[in-house]
Chains A and B, each alone.
Chain A
Amino acid sequence: MNNLLTTEDLSRETLDRLLDLSDEFVEVLDREIPKVPPLRGLTVATLFFEPSTRTRISFERAAKALSADVMSFSPGTSSLKKGESLKDTALTLRAMGADIMVVRHRAVGAPWRVAEWVDVPVVNGGDGAHQHPTQALLDALTIRRHFGKLDGLEIGIVGDIRHSRVARSDVYAFATLGAKVTLIAPRTLLPRDLEGWPCTSTGDLDEVLEQLDVVYLLRVQAERGGATAFPSWPEYVGRFGLSRERFARLGEGAVVMHPGPMNRGVEIAPEVADSDRALVLDQVRLGVAARMAVLFTLATGRGLTREVTA
């Protein structure tokens, strides 16, 4: 693995290996001193061209737990406002000594472009509505740790699929790991063409609710035009919100997930968000371990690491 850009081409074997490694790093993070040295002397640069707090902090926490140094780039304080091209920004950070780059950008494909220009591993930290592979990895990790495996599980992804890089990443990762994935959304929030996607789709949450092992809720991305896709918020909440009533109808072992940030009272009722069957905080916690696994794997792949001590 030279870069981690998309989940579309990840094999079962690669995913399993990353998840196994993540499990080991979960154990590291539970130690009294939650830190190991394999990336000592290396610098992880986070290039977040789109505002983000949680993903950046998670990556930086993962890098530091592997003893790497961290450089942060964000547009608010940068020369982007002075008209610098993406290429020049990437080359500048590389020249300052970045050994691994994590790129988040509102435009699709930005991490692919950066990977063409620099000679170090690139992690896609989210590009437009396209891909967010570490999110898929941490989601799969959360599910695997809860159920033991993904094989045979029924996972419903509910909400604004059209504008969601999380959905595009999860669909491929979950399906490759053996789960049966259903996209659940109004037609105006589904991609217009699902040719080649390893999943099915429906516009009726209530029809499939009781079969689901995992209900994965997404926020409506009003800033990307999601909110113009239905007549009113009450109409959307009534059809696709995970209310207390719907939550009560879930199967006994079913769990609820959400990539955050949650809009309580919209896609998820407050009581559901706070229930012990909502794995939202597990996702956040396990995200650090999953990102450690990614950074470690990329560094190892390029021969950058020291002895494995995890």
Chain B
Amino acid sequence: MTILIRGGEVLTPEGLQVLDVLVEGDRVARLGEDLHAPAADVVDATGCWVGPGFVDLHVHLREPGHEWKEDIASGTAAAAAGGFTLVVAMPNTDPPIDSGHLARFVTERARLVGHCEVRPAGCITLGRAGAYLAHLDELWDAGVRIFTDDGDGVADAGLLRHAMEYLAERGGVVAQHPEDPGLARDGHMHEGSVSARLGMAGLPALAEELMVARDLALVRETGTRYHVQHVSTRGTLRLIAEAKAEGLPVTAEVTPHHLTFDHSRVETMDPDYKMYPPLRTPEDVDALVAAVRDGTIDAVATDHAPHAAHEREVPFEEAPRGVIGLETAFAATLAAVGPDPQLLFERLSIAPARILGAERHGVPVQVGGPANLVVVDPTVVWTPTTFVSRAENSPWRGTELTGRPVATIHEGMLTHHDAVVGR
């Protein structure tokens, strides 16, 4: 397949330049002005940014086990529509990805039906039950590099220390969903003025901060690479900034919804605002946006968490947690941090690829470089009403957004091409 991306502002190793990009096979073949390729599919990128395809460190594809919510085919199609060429699938499936053959299933299935590359994350503990180590050796041999019990934190410090010691030898990343189970007990939303008025049990900021503080002490001892998932509080940001200043091997991600909404949204009682960690205060939102700009946060990750419509037709407290985010990630992040293409590609592609060690992703556009690319229009206005994802539980559903991927190219193949919208 030959693809000519014409007239876009291209993120190259030398910075942004208006260039044509010719893709042949799985490589960028040529960069230049007024390129011609008569047989090529042409993507008009006038007014668009062209850069490395987005990389999401945190998605739930729900396969195996929860295919009525999403599966690898539908989830990766949503990823492609959102500009992603690589996603990391969380292991809280049924069965959980706690051994080698299950990780291989996800990788192989994605190769067969996927619209982007999928790298499974593996469990830290067997069955995500928090009692024994998962088959970290098998998972590693199956290519897993990120380990997490996402959905729950690993509460047992002794067990986490063992996992860290084991993975430190190999360079694996321990990714933590930081939530102290005692402090978070029965909570459904941020503990604060809104939860007090609504009479809902709260998830205090401290539940996140306490576990991160503990984990950082373990990182200091073990030297393990540690990644904080979906940071939501100012206190966590302070801990991460201090750890980075100290030189600890720590990285962090934030979701677009935590960069956008605060806890007052829960007053609508709409389960599309239910997520763990919960939406925090306006001050936390501001601090998270600042942290994306200053580098305390390395990556924007969606925590794409699809649920079927009927599962949300219940009261807020009984609704499942999480919202989808792949298709709105670019627009939401753009709205939060502003029209800074270098920063956006860094947080949505380059940094997450680096954390993952994915050499064919997050590479600025260059001749001979991998053809994992995205073309985004930063000015097109659109309103998400339907989704490529099987699910619709998006807090942005029906909300006007600015900015959208026009085309996504994965290993030289067009996996998404928005020929209509905004063209």
Contact = CB atoms under 8 A, between A and B. Distances in A.
A197 B197 contact: yes
Interface stretch (B4-12, B218-226, B311-319): B311-319
Interface string A125-162: 00111110000000000000000000000000000000
Contacts of B315: 86, 105, 107-110, 113, 127
Interface string B284-320: 0000000000000000000000000010011111100
Interface stretch (B21-29, B109-117, B198-206, B234-242): B198-206
Interface stretch (A188-196, A270-278, A283-291): A188-196
Nearest to B316: A109
A133 to B, nearest CB: 13
Interface in B309-348: 310, 313-318
B400 interface: no
B234 to A, nearest CB: 16
A108 B193 contact: no
Contacts of A165: 199
Nearest to A171: B197
Contacts of A163: 199
A35 B191 CA distance: 47
B269 A113 contact: yes
B314 A86 contact: yes
A195 B193 contact: yes
Contact of B317 (A88, A108, A225): A108
Nearest to B271: A113
Interface in B179-212: 186, 188, 191-193, 195-200, 202
A225 B199 CA distance: 13
A188 to B, nearest CB: 13
Contacts of B316: 107-109, 113
A193 B196 contact: yes
Contacts of B188: 108
Specify which of A109, A165, A193 lies most central, judged by the most chain B CB atoms within 10 Å of its CB: A109
Q: How large is the interface on A (under 10, 10 to 19, 20 to 34, 35 or more residues)?
A: 20 to 34
Interface residues of B, number: 20
Given A108-B198, A112-B269, A129-B199, A193 B317 contact: no
A100 to B, nearest CB: 20
A197 to B, nearest CB: 7
Contacts of A77: none
B269 A109 contact: yes
A90 to B, nearest CB: 9
Contact of B313 (A85, A194, A196): A85
A17 interface: no
A185 to B, nearest CB: 13
B305 to A, nearest CB: 19
A108 B316 CA distance: 7
Contacts of B186: 225
Contacts of B314: 85-87, 107, 113
B197 A108 contact: no
A88 B200 CA distance: 24
A64 interface: no
Contacts of A195: 193, 196
Specify which of B199, B314, B316 lies most central, judged by the most chain A CB atoms within 10 Å of its CB: B199
A107 B318 contact: yes
A112 B315 CA distance: 9
A258 interface: no
B199 A196 contact: no
A180 interface: no
A117 B197 CA distance: 24
A130 B189 CA distance: 14
Contacts of B313: 85-88, 113, 117
A228 to B, nearest CB: 11
A4 to B, nearest CB: 16
Contacts of A113: 269, 313-316
Interface string A226-270: 000000000000000000000000000000000000000000000
Interface string A293-306: 00000000000000
A222 to B, nearest CB: 15
Contact of A130 (B193, B199, B202): B199
A113 B274 CA distance: 14
Nearest to B314: A86
Nearest to A8: B197
Contacts of B198: 108-109, 130
Nearest to A165: B199
Nearest to B266: A109
Interface in A192-208: 192-197
A168 B195 CA distance: 12
A125 B57 CA distance: 44
Nearest to A49: B315
A110 B188 CA distance: 14
B200 A191 contact: no
Contacts of B199: 108, 128-131, 163-165, 168, 191
Contacts of A197: 196-197
A290 B200 CA distance: 27
A110 B198 CA distance: 12
Contacts of B197: 8, 168, 191, 196-197
Nearest to A197: B197
Interface string A1-34: 0000000100000000000000000000000000
A134 to B, nearest CB: 16
A128 B317 contact: yes
Contacts of A108: 188, 198-200, 269, 315-317
Contacts of B191: 192-193
15 contacts: A86-B318, A87-B313, A108-B188, A108-B198, A113-B269, A128-B317, A129-B200, A168-B199, A191-B197, A191-B199, A192-B191, A193-B191, A195-B196, A196-B193, A197-B197
Given A109-B198, A113-B314, A113-B315, 7 more contacts: A85-B310, A85-B314, A87-B313, A107-B315, A107-B318, A117-B313, A193-B192
Which 8 residue pairs across A and B have the least CB separation, nearest first?
Answer: A129-B199, A109-B269, A107-B315, A191-B196, A87-B313, A130-B199, A110-B315, A195-B193
